[in-house]
Amino acid sequence: MALLLLVAALLTMLVWLAGVYEASQVQSRLERDTAQAVGDLQAALGRNVQGLQALQYNDPTPSSWAIEAAGLLREHRELVRVEWRDNALQLRAFADTPFRPPVFERIGRDHAQSEVALACANARRISGPAYASSNFVPMMDGLGMEVMELCLPLETGGKIVGYLVASYALPEVLEGLIGRQNMRSHEISFTEGDGTRLAVRGLGHRGNRVFTAQQLMDLPGTTLVFRVDSWRAAPDLFPNVLTALVTAMSIALVSVLALLAKDMRRRLKAEHDLADALAFRKAMEDSLVTGMRARDLQGRITYVNPAFCQMVGFSAAELLGHGMPQPYWPPELVQEYQRTQVIRQAGTLPPREGFESLFMRKDGSRFPVLVIEAPLIDAQGVHSGWMSALIDISEQRRVEELSRTSQERLQASARLATLGEMASLLSHELNQPLAAISGYAAGSINLLRRWPDGAPQHGADLATAMQRIAEQAERAGKVIRSVHGFVRRRDQVREAVTPQALLDDILPLVNLQARQLSVRVQTEVEPDLSPVLCDRTMVEQVLLNLTRNAMQAMDFAHIVERLLLLRVRRAKGGDRKKWIEFAVADLGEGIAPEVRQQLFNPFFTTKVEGMGLGLSLCRTVVEQHGGALAFEPNLPRGTIFIFTLPADSVA
């Protein structure tokens, strides 16, 4: 029965393939003829364009042009009207075809004015002939035809001075430019994209085999679909059936024997491949360190690998077929795991990234595992259970705990290092307030020594000196408290301070050092600035450190002009209302290129007595306030240090 069915199928397929081949040959010839016809059409239309261009030879008058146009229309039946229009599309002369009544006599020429204008606009844009979409023109006899407009620009000295408009009758294009020979065996037509026929020529003989070929005729400004329909009778298959039957049966019998032999070889190869695959799978399962477990829809274990058995301490015989509760579930978590399995059986999929669980070994010890589950689909595509991959993450948890402990120790060490840096800064920054206290105290002593000679005139000075001593002592205390709070990682107390108040607090100390170094201090504060939200003491230390560095940068004998500029203004760019910019500018020697890259590095200094912590800690303080500290050249000489502080949003 199988042999008979095979032979019948082969014969049927052979006959069918012969018919398909013949039909494909007919279709291929038809498509070649269609492509050739489209090429002939485009060539003929191109020749017509040349004939139309010849009408403008030797600058004709409208009357002479009309005579030449009439002669051209007698030679080309596809043209029904030729018009000469000026640059504004106004009619200068025209001629109608002599082979039919005037086409536009019934409805006039204005109904196609939009198509003419569109074609001439395209022609002007591409500086060449352009076509418009076809439009239906009713005739006096109650019928009508599809007419397509061609616009040809007329140029003189590179400028368009007018247009030639030619109207094509699409039925006459098919009959005059394709040829009657093609219409005897085919039905040719122009159609739109949706299949609507615009013009048809030729008589189609209806049959049971219709062959159709379509080709796009791309014209400047529009596109037409050229369609050719051909009818063929069914191929005569009977003379070939007897010969094909004997040949096909012989080939079929030999093929069946060859297929049987090939099938036996394939079966043997498949058995060997299956044995190799089973051996490979067994070796792979034995080498895995990840536990593999399969369960059916009822939760019974159907497969475990050696790694899983080693992980839980149970043998495969003890686990296979075991249902809920599983022997490796901790007793205190049995109810929770059973609820999870009920949810799983209801169809809720587990996360593919895995979830953590707690298992119990045979000896009772607990250990964490990472479980990754996926649906188990059998060969028929049916969901038959769940396949799980389990990873013992005990070592991972131990490493994480060690890492956390080490991180805490590193953080403590970092705080201790910061404490050392701040202690160095403290000794560095307290020198100026203490020096000021010493200076005011010495002045007070001198005044007291001269007290009998001039008590009334020195009383105010003595009071001022003592007040300054108290202010600087309070300032030293604030510095110590700020450093103490920084080391203990407490939130710094920030307050709204006007930029002018910050400058007023540091100017006495700045002026004191400026007088010693012969530096002139100048301040520029933009009016109506918002207060800044900052730790007042720490920001004052930043300003003092930057001003001290600026004055020391000008402490050279060859620098005559020594000017220290303190400038405060709104920050440029972005939301200017949110940031206040502080700038400290000097007229020193500037910063060398090799120093710029490491200027803010801790313990880097260019001073003999410096420690390299000032600028590093200044940047740390500014960044803790959310701002940024940078520097740039102060042309023509010197350096500008700029930092930003947030403005008080309430203000």
Candidate CATH numbers 3.30.450.20, 3.90.550.10, 2.60.120.620, 3.90.1150.10; the one for domain 1-232: 3.30.450.20
The pLDDT value given to residue 384: 77
- Reported as a pLDDT band with limits 50, 70 and 90, residue 392 is confident
- Identify which of 335, 313, 13 has the alpha carbon closest to the alpha carbon of residue 304: 313
The pLDDT value given to residue 419: 57
| E-strand stretches of 49-119 | 79-86, 91-96
Contact 404, 417 (CB under 8 A): no
Share of the chain above pLDDT 70, in %: 77
| E-strand stretches of 247-324 | 291-296, 301-304
Taking residue 410's Cβ as centre, other Cβ atoms within 10 Å add up to 10
Residue 428 has pLDDT above 80, yes or no: no
Taking residue 391's Cβ as centre, other Cβ atoms within 10 Å add up to 17
Give the whole-angstrom CA distance, residue 495 versus residue 651. Answer: 12
Between 311 and 475, where is the model more confident?
311
Between 215 and 250, where is the model more confident?
215
Residues 6+ apart with CB under 8 A from 128: 153, 220
Helix (H, G, I), strand (E, B) or coil at 66: helix
The pLDDT value given to residue 356: 80
- Reported as a pLDDT band with limits 50, 70 and 90, residue 584 is very high
Residue 114 has pLDDT above 90, yes or no: no
Residue in this structure with the two tokens 């002369």, named with its chain if needed = 93
Give the whole-angstrom CA distance, residue 574 versus residue 580. Answer: 12
Dihedral class, residue 10 (left if φ above 0, else alpha if ψ from -120 to 50, else beta): alpha
Residues 6+ apart with CB under 8 A from 265: none
Contact 614, 549 (CB under 8 A): yes
The pLDDT value given to residue 489: 47
Contact 204, 229 (CB under 8 A): yes
Residue 585 has pLDDT above 80, yes or no: yes
- Reported as a pLDDT band with limits 50, 70 and 90, residue 181 is low
Residue 591 has pLDDT above 50, yes or no: yes
Residues 6+ apart with CB under 8 A from 133: 115, 118, 148, 222
Q: What are 486-495's contacts with CB under 8 Å, separation 24+?
A: 486/418, 486/422, 486/538, 487/415, 487/418, 487/419, 487/422, 489/415, 492/535, 492/538, 492/624, 493/535, 494/533, 494/534, 494/535, 494/625, 495/533, 495/534, 495/536
Between 177 and 244, where is the model more confident?
177
What size, in residues, is the chain?
651
Cis status, amide bond into 636, omega within 30 of 0: yes
Give the whole-angstrom CA distance, residue 348 versus residue 351. Answer: 10
The pLDDT value given to residue 490: 47
Give the whole-angstrom CA distance, residue 261 versus residue 281. Answer: 30
Contact 316, 304 (CB under 8 A): yes
Kindly report, residue by residue over 296-315, the tens digit of the pLDDT.
887 788 888 888 888 888 88
Contact 74, 82 (CB under 8 A): no
Residue 452 has pLDDT above 60, yes or no: no
Give the architecture-level CATH label for domain 405-490: Orthogonal Bundle (1.10)
Mean pLDDT of the chain: 79
Residues 6+ apart with CB under 8 A from 62: 84, 92, 93
CATH H-level superfamily of 289-392: PAS domain (3.30.450.20)
Write down the pTM of the prediction. 0.38
Contact 341, 301 (CB under 8 A): no
The token duo for 628 is: 């940024």
Contact 111, 140 (CB under 8 A): no
Residue 180 has pLDDT above 80, yes or no: no
The token duo for 400 is: 């994480």
The pLDDT value given to residue 223: 87
For the domain made up of 492-651, give the CATH fold: Heat Shock Protein 90 (3.30.565)
Helix (H, G, I), strand (E, B) or coil at 579: strand
Give the whole-angstrom CA distance, residue 431 versus residue 443. Answer: 18
Q: Which of 64-73, 356-365, 522-531 has the lowest mean pLDDT?
A: 356-365
Task: Taking each helix axis as running N to C, give the angle between helix 431-449 and helix 499-517, from 0 to 180 degrees, rounded to the nearest 10.
Answer: 70
Between 636 and 418, where is the model more confident?
636
- The DSSP output letter for 236 is -
Residue 343 has pLDDT above 70, yes or no: yes
Residue in this structure with the two tokens 């791309």, named with its chain if needed = 218
Helix, strand, coil content of the chain in percent (nearest 5): 50, 25, 25
Contact 564, 636 (CB under 8 A): no
Helix (H, G, I), strand (E, B) or coil at 436: helix
Residue 12 has pLDDT above 80, yes or no: no
Q: Cβ-count burial of 351 within 10 angstroms (0-12 exposed, 13-18 middle, 19+ buried)?
A: exposed
Between 393 and 246, where is the model more confident?
393
Instruction: Judge if 1-232 and 289-392 fold alike in CATH terms.
Output: yes
Between 574 and 630, where is the model more confident?
630
Q: Which of 181-190, 542-551, 638-647 has the lowest mean pLDDT?
A: 181-190
Where along the chain do its domains lie? 1-232, 240-287, 289-392, 405-490, 492-651
Q: Which of 39-48, 282-291, 330-339, 578-587 has the lowest mean pLDDT?
A: 282-291
Amino acid making up residue 250? S
Integer angstrom CA distances of residue 179 from 37, 50, 216, 223, 458: 9, 21, 19, 21, 128
